[in-house]
Chains A and B, each alone.
Chain A
Amino acid sequence: MPLRYAPRDDNNIMKITAAQYAKTLYELTAEKSKNEIDKVIVNFVNILSKSNQLKNSGKIIANFSDIYNQENGIIEAEIMSARKLESSQVHKVESYLKNKYKVKEVVINNRIDEKIKGGIVIKVSDELLDASVARQLTNLKNKLSA
């Protein structure tokens, strides 16, 4: 009788996605001491190199940081402004975001973009709050030409 399915061997196991690797790594390292984590990391990298997954390490790291942030109530916010923000302004934005997303910690990454003319643009994952002067001017233009 002919074989219907190819026999499974170690080279033919199902592909593991970067997200799955990252999730496993998080579960192994959560609430462990520094020593234990170092051990886990070494083993993890060994497994990655054995299964030729080192090329995906960038993706795995990105996924890991997403999971870590989510589990620990951290969000990363990208803030665009025309001039450098003063620390009091940054604090205001921080407390606003903490309140809005109900998180413990906000990591703020401030960028300067003169094209927005003034005001502020806040981006958190795929949500965008555009309170720039440039945007308001376009809105006004659209309203006047309608």
Chain B
Amino acid sequence: MEKINGASKDYIIEQLKKQIENFQVKTQTEKVGTVIEVGDGVAKISGLSDCMASEMIDFGNNIYGVALNLEEGQIGAMILGNFENIKEGDTVKSTGKILSVPVGENIIGRVVSPLGEALDGKGQIKSEKFYPVEKIAPGVITRKSVSQPVQTGIKAIDSMIPIGRGQRELIIGDRQVGKTAIAVDAIINQKGQDLICIYVAIGQKESKIARIVAELEKHGAMEHTIVVVAGASDPASLSFIAPYAGCAMGEYFMDQGKDVLIIYDDLSKHAWAYRQISLILKRPPGREAYPGDIFYLHSRLLERSARLNEDFGGGSITALPIIETQAGDVSAYIPTNVISITDGQIYLESDLFYKGVRPAINAGLSVSRVGSSAQTKAMKKVAGKIRLDLAQFRELEAFAQFGSDLDEKTRQQIERGRRTVEVLKQDQYEPMSMENQVAILYALTQGFLDDVAVEKIAVWEADFHKYLKSSAKNVLNLIAKEKELSEGVIKELESAIKNFKEIYQNGN
């Protein structure tokens, strides 16, 4: 009906008449059931004899449920949405559809609920395509190993804990240590790149989500981002399906051969939501009162991240699940589960955070099991030494308080370590391009920073990047193009660093 702009009223009426004339009276037999018990977002239903597992059930008034327990004589279903108006004795209908969400290009840039309804007030989302929320992960023959990097724009991660497209890298740490900040920075850094980002907020405070969306909009990052929100006040059923719904939206793009980055913030709350639903459905509790299939809950979700090979379109889904630990306890049930499922973890420590090392990444405990094969050659060359420098520094740090009693070599290692820590510090919302990272890390590892005072390194680095941008653009372009530190590039880079140092010393 959009086409009839400016047409006469008669035309509209004609159209309506036509539609009404063409309307066909159809009746068909439906399966119905009766609500026999309802409480805490879960309903027991009798009847509905042909109901499938995870089939949508229509409670009327635009409220749907999902069948979870199929028992003899009754069905246990979780209610998606407001369950206050559902009474005992209500009639429900089966829909014959497995729970699915709308997918498509028009969702990019939007804030949506796990059912694909708009939450940002920018109008209804119309989509013809639907993807099932629960889907079996791609099989062995469809996959290949990671080969392309995800540039997070964070020096410490891109150098030491590289993430490849199709990888699952866990971000783990206590509350308020900057887990979400890393994820948001990674999204912002994809501006103008080819990665589509999906941020799934599970049981998060609405204020926090609003802040993140505002920040993404401010940095122009909403243009390539979908935000899926199950807020803290939404029913547990929505928190439970949110990551699967977000993944289904990502799978649509993966099937088109595109690359997707998806962030689950956070899976601890997802596990809580599932525990709640399971306990109300009277499934037997296990360790920490989680149900028996809590491992499968997360493994089937994270297995859906994949790098498809060329025969299957070559798309990918990279997952960054987030887990919140309690007082640094990584050996609790959910953290150990998710650590074992993922291809590595970024471990954030509150001690480091309060010391001012931000991002507070513990380089010793953080690993990336597959990402190094996707790292650019230039980055690999400069990053190799950083891990070693940091590891030696941490061993010797205890001796540092003896100061002058140390021999020359030890002192040098400590000084280098201090500078490495300093260089790896990075402000929030300031992701750095790969070529700038390579330049500063090269300067660091080759000892060009050894004569700069530790407390002045931040300023030095900022000026260095400014200098590269204004006077040595060709070096940056060369690194970005070749993605390798060939001898020619090294020569150019070194001369740029030396030039800058000269200017810098003369300036001070």
Residue numbers of A with Cβ under 8 A of B are: 123, 125-131, 135-136, 139-140, 143-144
Considering the chains assembled together, what is the distance between the CA atoms of A129 and B16 in angstroms? 28
B141 at the interface (CB under 8 A from A): no
Q: Are A128 and B27 in contact (CB-based, < 8 A)? A: no
B31 at the interface (CB under 8 A from A): yes
Considering the chains assembled together, what is the distance between the CA atoms of A125 and B49 in angstroms? 10
Residues of B with C-beta under 8 A to A139: 23, 26
Shortest 6 CB-CB distances between A and B: which pairs? A126-B47, A131-B27, A128-B32, A128-B30, A129-B29, A127-B29
Considering the chains assembled together, what is the distance between the CA atoms of A50 and B58 in angstroms? 44
Jot down 9 A-B pairs with beta carbons below 8 A, ordered by A: A126-B48, A127-B31, A127-B32, A128-B32, A128-B91, A129-B27, A130-B30, A140-B20, A140-B23
Q: In the complex, how many residue pairs between chain A and chain B have their CB atoms under 8 Å apart?
A: 37
Q: Are B19 and A144 in contact (CB-based, < 8 A)? A: yes
Considering the chains assembled together, what is the distance between the CA atoms of A37 and B193 in angstroms? 82
Q: Are A144 and B16 in contact (CB-based, < 8 A)? A: yes
Residues of A with C-beta under 8 A to B27: 129-131, 135
A36–chain B nearest beta-carbon distance, Å: 31
Q: Are B30 and A143 in contact (CB-based, < 8 A)? A: no
B140 at the interface (CB under 8 A from A): no
Q: Are A143 and B19 in contact (CB-based, < 8 A)? A: yes
Chain A residue nearest to B28 in the complex (CB)? A129
B33 at the interface (CB under 8 A from A): yes
Considering the chains assembled together, what is the distance between the CA atoms of A49 and B26 in angstroms? 52
Q: Are B23 and A126 in contact (CB-based, < 8 A)? A: no
Considering the chains assembled together, what is the distance between the CA atoms of A126 and B36 in angstroms? 14
B462 at the interface (CB under 8 A from A): no
B4 at the interface (CB under 8 A from A): no
Considering the chains assembled together, what is the distance between the CA atoms of A123 and B34 in angstroms? 12
Residues of B with C-beta under 8 A to A129: 27-30
Q: Are A128 and B23 in contact (CB-based, < 8 A)? A: no
Considering the chains assembled together, what is the distance between the CA atoms of A127 and B31 in angstroms? 5
Q: Are A125 and B47 in contact (CB-based, < 8 A)? A: yes
Check A128/B29 contact, CB under 8 A, given A140-B23, A143-B23: yes
Q: Are B19 and A126 in contact (CB-based, < 8 A)? A: no
Residue among A128, A130, A131, A144 with max Cβ neighbours from chain B (10 Å): A128
B25 at the interface (CB under 8 A from A): yes
Residues of A with C-beta under 8 A to B29: 127-129
Q: Are B32 and A126 in contact (CB-based, < 8 A)? A: yes
Considering the chains assembled together, what is the distance between the CA atoms of A10 and B438 in angstroms? 81
Residue among A125, A126, A144 with max Cβ neighbours from chain B (10 Å): A126
Chain A residue nearest to B72 in the complex (CB)? A19
Considering the chains assembled together, what is the distance between the CA atoms of A144 and B25 in angstroms? 14
B163–chain A nearest beta-carbon distance, Å: 43
B39–chain A nearest beta-carbon distance, Å: 22
Considering the chains assembled together, what is the distance between the CA atoms of A89 and B33 in angstroms? 27
Residues of B with C-beta under 8 A to A127: 29-32
B326–chain A nearest beta-carbon distance, Å: 40
Considering the chains assembled together, what is the distance between the CA atoms of A130 and B27 in angstroms? 6
Residues of A with C-beta under 8 A to B91: 128
Q: Are A136 and B32 in contact (CB-based, < 8 A)? A: no
Considering the chains assembled together, what is the distance between the CA atoms of A128 and B23 in angstroms? 22
Considering the chains assembled together, what is the distance between the CA atoms of A135 and B93 in angstroms? 14
Residues of A with C-beta under 8 A to B25: 136
Residues of A with C-beta under 8 A to B19: 143-144
Considering the chains assembled together, what is the distance between the CA atoms of A131 and B28 in angstroms? 8
Residues of A with C-beta under 8 A to B16: 144
Considering the chains assembled together, what is the distance between the CA atoms of A136 and B20 in angstroms? 12
Residues of B with C-beta under 8 A to A136: 25
Check A126/B20 contact, CB under 8 A, given A131-B27, A136-B25: no
Contact with A along B83-121 (1 / 0, CB 8 A): 000000001010000000000000000000000000000
Chain B residue nearest to A132 in the complex (CB)? B27
Chain B residue nearest to A100 in the complex (CB)? B29
A64–chain B nearest beta-carbon distance, Å: 15
Considering the chains assembled together, what is the distance between the CA atoms of A143 and B15 in angstroms? 13
A121–chain B nearest beta-carbon distance, Å: 10
B126–chain A nearest beta-carbon distance, Å: 10
Residues of A with C-beta under 8 A to B33: 126
